[in-house]
Amino acid sequence: MKLPAAEPEEGPVIVTTADLFRVAYGRFAVGAYNINNMEQTLGLFRGHVEAEAPFIIQISKGARKYAGIPMLEGMIRAAETMFPEAIFAVHLDHGDEQTCYECIDSGFYSSVMIDASHAPFDENVAITRRVVERAHAKGLSVEAEMGMLGGVEEDIKVDEKHALLTDPEEARLFVEQSGCDSLAVAIGTSHGAYKFSGNQGLHFDRIAAIQQQLPGCPLVMHGSSSVPQEEVARINAAGGKLDPSAKGVNEDEFARAVPLGVTKVNIDTDGRLVWTRVQREYLRDHPADFDFRKPGALLITEYAAFIVNKSRKLLSAGTLADLRGALA
Ligand code: G3H
Ligand code: 13P
Ligand code: ZN
């Protein structure tokens, strides 16, 4: 636990990511959502309290730059006070080595992700090992990435053609040698709105093979947005120009991935689509309006509804009471 609980009598609020994974593994997946602003933060907490689901707040390097580090921390601490029932962890998303150290030393984070997946295997192991040593010394856990996700990760572009699925045997060696606590695996997903064409989807056989090599190791699925077609259609009807072939992960497949060890599911793009739809429709329908609180309030409500739906699909809805008992 990195932060004092705001309401100790309510049970733990900010918990370690390791604690969440221990309870979740094989039973449900913890949704991990990126935040950048206040409306998103309020919707995130409101939705999870309503769904009675734990969650992970992810902070990217881009978010740290956009909102500012003190602002992000301030928003999370404020939300913690406003929603004392919430149980969540705070995680650095796609960190480089230096940012991992900053987050580890800040005392604010529950866990960090070191993303050295662009480096050759031995270098990835060495970098991850260094981060693990610093993190474990302070009680944080570490997510690492092996294999390459197609698409764009922060400022790293990976040619779609070189998108490789994680090799199960290599994954076991990587975890053994690096000491990481969870592993982001390439199992067919990629970041952004354009993940799949045709009938492509998750590679369940590969997830199962990885689990066989790494029983009990929480697997992390990046690029897990579902890019609902209805959302894309509404955005385009309100003036957007998204490619209508945009396609993501079928969210009914989360339940199949959970028993195979997928314990953390990263979602960002879908939240951005909620923002885009709300803003576009509101401005289209209220051309004379200029009070940003009206679309802002709508965004909080819509974001919370989006979170409730995701929590059900991830099987994390309704688990808070059990979790509180397990963590007590
Ligand atoms: O995988 C990256 C996340 O979607 C965060 O995106 O770097 O634009 O904040 P960002
Ligand atoms: P999406 O682009 O599918 O939302 O993935 C987000 C992610 O993996 C953040 O690390
Ligand atoms: Zn990611």
Q: What is the pLDDT along the chain (328 residues), one digit of tens a residue?
A: 344 444 434 444 578 899 999 999 999 999 999 999 999 999 999 999 999 999 999 999 999 999 999 999 999 999 999 999 999 999 999 999 999 999 999 999 999 999 999 999 999 999 999 999 999 999 999 999 987 775 444 444 444 433 578 999 999 999 999 999 999 999 989 999 988 766 678 999 999 999 999 999 999 999 999 999 999 999 999 999 999 988 899 999 999 999 999 999 999 999 999 999 999 999 999 999 999 999 999 999 999 999 999 999 999 999 999 999 888 8
Which atom number of ligand 1 is nearest to the Cα of residue 153? Answer: 1
- C-alpha 297/C-alpha 292 separation (Å) is 9
**Do the domain assignments include residue 128?**
yes
Other Cβ atoms closer than 10 A to 181:
21
Ligand 2 atom nearest 149 alpha carbon:
8
Mutational test site, ligand 2, from 92, 114, 224, 262, max ligand atoms within 8 Å of CB: 224
- Which of 154, 221, 272 to mutate to test ligand 1, by most ligand atoms within 8 A of the CB atom? 154
Kindly give the distance from the C-alpha atom of residue 265 to the centroid of ligand 3, in angstroms, as a whole number: 9
Q: Is the pTM of this model over 0.85?
A: yes
Q: What is the CATH number of the domain that holds 239?
A: 3.20.20.70
Domain that holds residue 173: 8-327
Q: How far is the CA of 286 from the centre of ligand 1 (A)?
A: 30
Alpha carbon dihedral 90, 116, 219, 76, in 10-degree steps, equals: 10
Give residues with Cβ within 8 angstroms of 259, minimum separation 6: 26
Q: Domain for residue 3, yes or no?
A: no
Point out the ligand 1 atom lying closest to the alpha carbon of residue 154. 7
How do beta strands 141-146 and 111-114 pair?
Answer: parallel
Ligand 1 midpoint to CA 9 (Å): 35
| Alpha carbon distance 180, 133 (integer Å) | 9
Index of the ligand 2 atom closest to the CA of residue 151: 2
Residue 49 inside a domain? The answer is yes
Give distance in angstroms: CA of 58 to centre of ligand 3.
Answer: 10
Query: Does residue 2 belong to any structural domain of this protein?
Result: no
Q: Which residues are catalytic?
A: 93
Residue bearing the CA closest to ligand 1, atom 1? 153
**Which residues does residue 145 pair with via DSSP β-bridges, in sequence order?**
184
Q: Which residues line ligand 2 (CB under 6 A)?
A: 34, 93-94, 191-192, 222-225, 266-270
**Which residues, in sequence order, are bridge partners of residue 264?**
30, 220
Tell me phi and psi for residue 220, to 5 degrees. -115, 130
Ligand 1 midpoint to CA 67 (Å) = 13
Q: Do the domain assignments include residue 1?
A: no
- For residue 190, report the distance from its CA to the centre of ligand 3, in Å: 8
The reply to whether 237 falls in a domain is yes
3-state helix, strand, coil in the chain (%, to 5): 50, 15, 35
The ligand placed nearest to the CA atom of residue 33 is 2
Specify the number of domains making up the chain: 1
For residues 264 and 21, is the Cβ–Cβ distance under 8 A? Answer: yes
Report the alpha-carbon distance of residue 225 to residue 189 in Å, rounded: 9
**Non-local CB neighbours of 111 within 8 Å, separated by 6+ positions:** 16, 17, 18, 89, 90, 91, 92, 135, 140, 141, 142, 143, 181
89-100 burial code (b ≥16 CB/10 A, e <16): bbbbbbbbbebb
User: Is residue 60 a part of any domain in this protein?
Assistant: yes
Show the tokens assigned to 157: 């572009």
Ligand 1, pocket residues at CB < 6 Å? 34, 60, 62-63, 93-94, 153-154, 191, 268
Atom of ligand 2 nearest to the CA of 189: 3
